[in-house]
Amino acid sequence: MKENSTQNHSTGETYQDIYRWGNKKSTEVDLGTLAFLEKRFSTQRETQRKIGKMVSSQKTVEISPSKLLPEHKAFFENLLGKENVKSSDFARANHSFGKFYTDLLFLRNAQVPFPPDVVLSPKNHQEIESIVAYCNQHKIAILPFAGGSSVTRALEFPHGGVALDLKSRLNQIIEINQTNHTVTAQSGILGPDLEAALNKEGYTCGHFPQSFEFSTLGGWVAAKGAGQCSTGYGRAEELLVSLKAVTPIGTFEGKDFPSAVQGFDLKHLFVGSEGTLGVITEVTWKIFKHRPQNTQKSSFIFKDFFSSTAAMREMIQNEIGKPHLFRISDGKETDFAFSHLGFQGTWKDKLLSTLGYKSPQRCTMVMTVEGESTYGKSVMGNMKKIARKHGGFPSGEEPINKWLKQRFDSPYLRDGLMEEGYMIDTLETAVTWDNLHGLWQAIHRYFETNPKVYGMSHISHVYPNGCNIYAIFISPMKDEPLENTLKEFHAFQQGIIQTFVENKGSISHHHGVGRMGAEFMSGQFPKEGFSMMQGIKDLFDPSGIMNPGGNMLGLKDRFGSEDSKS
């Protein structure tokens, strides 16, 4: 299958071919991690492995037939060519999910509750204009589908309709402009393809989300993403220069001015719109000189979360320049990582404990600085000074080098953990510094309400006025019917978002809202703010064809007669 090969799946048509994160790398879980989990949960390896294997489906995909009317199919085939209009079971199932935990569960149980009726692979802006206009006229739902890496239930088709496959053909670089330090490309280009083309000319895109290998330029903008080096390079909204998008009321095309006043700037509406307003077709993006040889790296161990975050805050607020990668793993995550890296129990571990850097309070901070070499040294020198002032123990380059080596591996690890009978999920939120500790403590209190959960967190995107927090939890899977598992997971997971918003965090920092956070949306907008968002949605998409049925707006369904079944 062509549309599959870009994800490096095997060439089969099984559920596993859809749910796996790619097959380039081993997904085997290291023994250190397994031992850590077994100790924590008093689980047996064979029992958990059996549960894991039970939800590992190599069946060939079979789903309910497409409801696309023949005349619509004919229109699309005429427009795009037959080979770019797919309604096979596999093609449709392959565009029915992101990589959210429940997405994987459904697939591992050979279930596809909300498939599209057809997968269309347009090659340019004009074809997308024709598709959107046609669908608007005939009230056919559309959802742009590119990398497919969503972890927020952003990719579901409760009303069937069109999955607009952007990555197969809408993936060309239009211009690398070395004078302006920008690149313009079609929105469906995958991270590695964009980066390779830029590297060849001596540039980098500066944006490396964990989903980098299977996410696209347009997806980064639509989900308002942030890469691992966002503290230095900026997040998607800052890297974005301009964009072109097709909406049901027409095309928006921005200009690439560095900054201009021409009324309010509509491009911001598409940032974080998650397919609810239109389809982003082209993006102009900032680029940077690619000089990996200049990268300064360092790491520190702190005695606790409070001293590490005090250091972090001082580093980002003292106007010493900015690190690019900048992270703190809290005590629980540090313990988990140390077990994964085989650090626990070594003499270094013992030395640290003797010096007062004790598990489970001790935290790890890692940072890199990129750019011109003297700049990097100046920034890193000042960061080190501040780290020491707050009691940071210098742990050198090894931790950051290890981290960088596996920077895109966590999604593979998740597949492996599921095979071993453990689920892992992750949510994230944004918070101001003055609410950080309260929120962090609330997250851990919440984790502790469930003895079958190991919860940990880290900070990975840092701003002068605050930061994000990741909330990550691992739990042994149970031998229970899918329905119960889903219900239990849903309840626990929504409780985390509830904890975020009750403690002054946002629904999400950069994963997006999706259907996962939809219920919380209206509550986040005091006064008339949320109805204004609905008004914008209705303005751009009067028939409600863009991503209908419980999307991130949390809107009541305005499409078709049937309510979302999700």
Which listed range, 35-43, 166-174, 450-458, 520-528, lies at the site for its own copies (CB under 8 A)?
520-528
Of residues 382, 386, 341, 391, the one with CA closest to residue 363: 391
**Nearer CB in complex with its own copies: 84/508:** 508
- Residues 536 and 264: beta-carbon distance below 8 Å: no
Q: Does the footprint of its own copies cover residue 443 (CB under 8 A)?
A: no
Q: Which is nearer to its own copies, 233 or 343 (CB)?
A: 233
Per rule CB under 8 A, is residue 255 in the interface with its own copies?
Answer: yes
In whole angstroms, how close is the CB of 278 to its own copies at the nearest point? 10
In the complex with its own copies, the residue whose CB is nearer, 362 or 461, is 461
Residues of span 75-134 touching its own copies by CB under 8 A: none
Structure tokens at 395: 């742990």
Return the closest-CA partner of residue 515 out of 469, 555, 477, 475: 555
Q: Does 218 bind its own copies (CB under 8 A)?
A: no
CA angle 391/395/399 to nearest 5° reads 130
| Binding residues for its own copies restricted to 268-287, rule: CB under 8 A | 268-274, 276-277, 286
Q: Is the sign of the CA dihedral 150, 152, 156, 162 positive or negative? A: negative
Is 372 exposed, middle or buried (CB count within 10 Å of its CB: 0-12, 13-18, 19+)?
exposed
Q: Is 249 in the site for its own copies (CB under 8 A)?
A: yes
Query: Exposed, middle or buried: residue 255 (CB in 10 Å: 0-12, 13-18, 19+)?
Result: exposed
> With respect to its own copies, which residue has the nearer C-beta, 381 or 481?
381
**509 touching its own copies, by CB under 8 A:** yes
Question: What amino acid is encoded at 8 in this protein?
Answer: N
Applying CB under 8 A, among 26, 83, 261, 561 the residue interacting with its own copies is 261
Contacts of 492 (CB under 8 A, 6+ apart): 450, 453, 473
Q: Which of 256, 398, 479, 480 binds its own copies (CB under 8 A)?
A: 256
* Contact status: 418 vs its own copies (CB under 8 A): no
**Using the rule CB under 8 A, which residue among 30, 38, 77, 253 binds its own copies?**
253
CB count, 10 Å around CB of 87? 18
The distance of closest approach from Cβ of residue 332 to its own copies in the complex, given in angstroms and rounded to an integer, is: 23
* Sites for its own copies among residues 521-560 (CB under 8 A): 521, 524-529, 531-533, 535-536, 539-540, 552-553
- Binding of its own copies by 63 (CB under 8 A): no
Query: By C-beta, is 372 or 398 nearer to its own copies?
Result: 372
For residue 64, the 8-state DSSP code is: P
Question: What distances in angstroms separate CA 532 from CA 435, 528, 538, one per listed residue?
Answer: 27, 6, 10
Among 323, 512, 544, 549, binds its own copies (CB under 8 A): 512
8 A C-beta contact, residue 145 and residue 18 = no
The answer to whether 293 contacts its own copies (rule: CB under 8 A) is no
Interface with its own copies (CB under 8 A), residue from 507, 516, 545, 546: 507
Query: What's the CA gap between 127 and 77, in Å, rounded?
Result: 12
SS3 for 68-135 is: CCHHHHHHHHHHHCHHHEECCHHHHHCCCCCCCHHHHHHHHCCCCCCCCCEEECCCCHHHHHHHHHHH
d(Cα 324, Cα 326) in Å, to the nearest integer?
6
Least distance (Å) between residue 484 CB and its own copies:
30
- Render the burial of 263-285: b for 16+ CB within 10 Å, e for the rest: eeebbebbbbbbbbbbbbbbbbb
Q: Which residues, numbered 329-368, are part of the site for its own copies (CB under 8 A)?
A: none
Strand 118-120's sheet: what is its strand order?
A: 85-86, 118-120, 162-165, 142-145
Compare residues 169 and 509 and give the one whose CB is closer to its own copies.
509
How many angstroms separate the CA atoms of 481 and 478, rounded? 9
**Distance of alpha carbon 280 from alpha carbon 171, whole angstroms:** 12
Choose one: 73-81, 155-163, 180-188, 411-419; the region binding its own copies (CB under 8 A): 180-188
**# residues near its own copies by CB under 8 A:** 95
Q: List the interface residues with its own copies, window 449-478 (CB under 8 A).
A: 461, 463-468
Q: How far is the CB of 204 from its own copies (least distance, A)?
A: 11
* Site residues (CB under 8 A) for its own copies, limited to 371-410: 371-372, 374-375, 378-379, 381-382
Contact 183, 287 (CB under 8 A): yes
**Region near its own copies per CB under 8 A, out of 130-138, 397-405, 478-486, 504-512:** 504-512
Closest distance to its own copies from the beta carbon of 533 (Å): 6
Give min distance, CB of 229 to its own copies, in A.
Answer: 12
CB of 234 vs its own copies, minimal distance in Å: 10
